[in-house]
Structure 1
Amino acid sequence: MNIGARMLKTGIAVTLTLLLCHAFNFTTTGFAAIAAFLAIQPSVYRSWKHLLDQIQANVIGALFAFGTLYLLGNHPVVTGIIVILLIGINSRLGVENVGLSVVTAIAILEIQDPNVFQFGMERFLSVMVGIVSAVLVNMIFLPPKYEDRLLSHIETTGEQLSMLLRSLVFGELEKEAYREAKESAEKNIDKAEKLFGFYRDEFNRLFKNAPYSRAKKLVLFKQMIMILKKELEVIDHFEHQSSALLYVSDGLKDDIQEFLYALTNYEEKIFMKYERKIKRSYSDDLHDKIEEQKIRLLSHLTKSTPDKITDLEDVKKHSYLFALVSSLSHLSDELEKLDILVERYHKYE
């Protein structure tokens, strides 16, 4: 069993909550523990946002519960109606997680003791202890390092896609291996976008006065993910228009293959340049070679197109080829943008 950081933090938050409840002599520790469990969030910023949302939701839940106890009592039917109303009101207010609001209301409505207000306040406060404990643990203990995780994930996904791209023209990969690699890459791109969302939340909300170079990283990572998507688009183009390659000359196939190798090599060198593993001028030389290969490929494709096309199948075949080469050209443009962004990042760092 793999115990992740979030699982570990959840356990620590519950432990801290129970210890604090015992220190304050709260008797309803179970509700506090549930609150701590529900309040752990994937990022520090979202923990703060969750805290503010839950303070609002808990106050509403407590007020509804106290009002209902005094006016209508705590009959099961009444409790059910209050739960429905709380869900509706919190949803209207934009509170994403209404669970703790409902927990607070039920905790108060189930009180049978004559001193309702005292026990109700204790349960309300115990829930708040759970929420605050979870936020503190999330901030102090093993805070998520989204930047490192995001960069590592982008590089790993880029390697997967590079392998797929290099195998497109001559189909070196077995169908099952190709399918598994592509599905894995698609899932990894989705995960990269999610990690980028967490990183952007942390950066925008908690580091508003960060240096200019740090702000540049947001743009860099966004462009890196854009390239992953463009590579996947190229792969999709080759899949949907693979029949066009059946009629392509060996020379043109070789040009396409060389261009694919050049693009994947260029991407690898840009990442190495970002991490300061190679000289900055090295990727510039690669860029010039890619431009030469692009011109040669387009020229070869144009020359291979007959002056007169009368057959509809020939029209489709050559339009597919131009679409394939166009997708590769767009990918090279996006790589060039990333290269420029990396250059500017190092300049202002």
Structure 2
Amino acid sequence: MKFGARILKTGIAISLALFIAQLCKSPSPALAGISAIFAIQPSIYRSYLTILERAQGNVIGAVIAILFGLYIGNDFILIGVASIICVALLLKLKLENTIGLAVVTLVIIMDSPGNGFLETALIRFGTIMLGLVAAFIVNLIFIPPKYEVTLYQQIYTTNSEIMKWIKLNLRHAADFPLLKKDMNWMQNQMSQIRNQYDLFKEERSFRKKEMLAKSRKIAIYRQMILCSQKAIDLLKIQHRYENDYLLLAPLKQEQIRQQIDYLTDKHEQLLLTYIDKVAVDVDYVEDHLAQDPKELMDLFINELKLDDETRELDEYHLMRIIASIFAYQETVDYLEKLIHSFKLRHQEDNQIDISVTEE
């Protein structure tokens, strides 16, 4: 685990919750600190949803605890029975994420002394809710997250690694054990990128102009992720059918290599164009395709027409190689359309201040 903003915010939230609880002269300020631990989230929007969910769960737990404490009893067996009822009700209401804190609330309230049970229970419930509010305040104010910056840097770093292996594999210079290890790393990175994309997409804008720009950026980042995934798929196919690729005539190998080199270079250039590291092409026409894939299709058809019984090349494998190149080209071409449209048509909000490396 990497030390980051969420860990720091958890510590700040606990301290703030304890401070506010002591300021309110709560007899059990530690309850506010415990509550704050459950409520810290990686984004403001998720924090807002969490405080609503946790509040509902806490109210349910508190109500069950108070009803048991006032009318049935609060010995250890009854606390267990009340906990079962509480969990079952939360599952029925689809509030699974609140079970932990709700049961903690129930146990703490039912463990209140017999004299002045209701007053003590309400004070403890209020202290726990205080911790949720403190965590929300910390999420709202301290260390505002930079979702877009992190998302772009993760995409660029992962994409650079993918491009490196594709080019090495094309030139038969790849170390297979290391490539296999790196492909697992790439897939893990893609999972992290998708999680970061969800956080970026959930981030709310309040001005109409910002909302429009945000929706365009969401479409671009979604396509960036798809391009990277198609590049990984191409690398896997390339690696799996390398022997079939080597059985092609040298001229045909060169033709495939040139097409893939063109696509990887174009992909990297588009990522840099998005952050204004490469100038946008003002003469770009949206419906154009920069490189006609017809040559690759002709290569495949001509290979099928060859009447050579001694040929070892599997036509199905060649089809998989060509199809993966087409799929990659299609996603890169569409990314090009999105970025050029964003840069040329919406110049007021297309300035992206992002570095290609982590700060």
**Taking structure 2 as the reference length, what is the TM-score of the superposition?**
0.89
Indicate if the aligned counterparts of 1:169 and 1:256 stay in contact, CA closer than 8 A: no
Q: CA deviation at 1:269?
A: 1.0
**SS of residue matched to 1:104:** helix
The reply on whether 1:237 has 2:237 as its aligned counterpart is yes
Corresponding residue pairs, total: 343
- What's the counterpart of residue 12 of structure 2? 12
- Residue in structure 1 matched with residue 357 of structure 2 by the alignment: none
* Residue identity in the other structure for 1:243: N
Q: Counterpart of 1:134 in structure 2: which amino acid? A: A
- Aligned position for 2:247: 247
Bigger shift: residues 275-284 or 173-182: 275-284
Q: Distance in 2 between matches of 1:61 and 1:217?
A: 42
Alignment of 1:336 onto 2:330? no
Letter in 2 for 1:319: Y
Corresponding residue for residue 353 of structure 2: none
Q: Structure 1 pair 126/164, CA: closer, same or farther in 2 (3 Å)?
A: same
Matching residue within 319, 324, 338 for 2:316: 319
- Matched with 1:41 is 41
Change (3 A) 1:52 1:156: same
1:305 aligns with 2:284: no
Q: Which has the higher helix share?
A: 1
Match of 2:173 in 1: 172
d(CA) in 1 for partners of 2:283 and 2:7? 42
Q: Residues 171 and 83 from structure 1, CA distance in 2 versus in 1: closer, same or farther, beyond 3 angstroms?
A: farther
Q: Which moved more, 1:194-203 or 1:234-243?
A: 234-243
Deviations 1:119-142 (A, max 9, x none): 111100000110000011011001
After TM superposition, the structure 1 stretch with the greater mean CA deviation from structure 2, 48-57 or 177-186, is: 177-186
Is 1:118 matched up with 2:119?
Answer: yes
Q: Is the 8 A contact 2:246 2:253 kept in 1?
A: no
2:281 counterpart SS class:
helix
* CA distance in 1 between partners of 2:41 and 2:217 (Å): 24
Q: Which secondary structure state, in structure 1, belongs to the residue aligned with residue 73 of structure 2?
A: coil
Deviation at 1:310, TM superposition (A): 6.1
C-alpha change, 1:289 and 1:116, in structure 2 (3 Å) is closer
Residues 3 and 155 of structure 1, relative CA distance in 2, 3 Å threshold: same
Contact 1:267 1:335 in 2 (8 A): yes
| TM-score (normalised: structure 1) | 0.92
**1:208: how far off?**
7.7
Q: Which runs of 5+ in 2 are unaligned?
A: 350-359
Post-superposition offset of 1:85: 1.3
Matches within 5 A, 1:288-303: 291-292=291-292, 294-303=293-302
Identity %: 23
Q: Please report the RMSD computed on the Cα atoms of aligned residues, expressed in angstroms.
A: 2.3
Q: 1:170 to 1:183 in 2, by over 3 A?
A: same
Contact in 1 for aligned 2:83/2:103 (Cα 8 Å): yes
Q: What runs of 5+ residues in structure 1 fail to find an aligned partner?
A: none
Paired amino acid for 1:129: L
Partner of 1:54: 54
Q: CA deviation at 1:157?
A: 0.9
Provide the residue aligned with 2:159 in structure 1: 158
User: 1:182 matched to which residue of 2?
Assistant: 183
For residue 230 of structure 1, report the CA deviation from its aligned partner: 0.8
Structure 1 CA distance for aligned equivalents of residues 284 and 269 of structure 2: 10
Query: Given residue 335 of structure 1, which amino acid in structure 2 is its aligned partner?
Result: V
Structure 2: how far apart are the matches of 1:338 and 1:169? Answer: 24
1:44·1:138 contact (CA, 8 Å) conserved in 2?
yes
Runs of 4+ in 1 over 6 A off after TM superposition: none
Shift of 1:307: 4.2
Q: What SS does the corresponding residue of 1:304 show, helix, strand or coil? A: helix
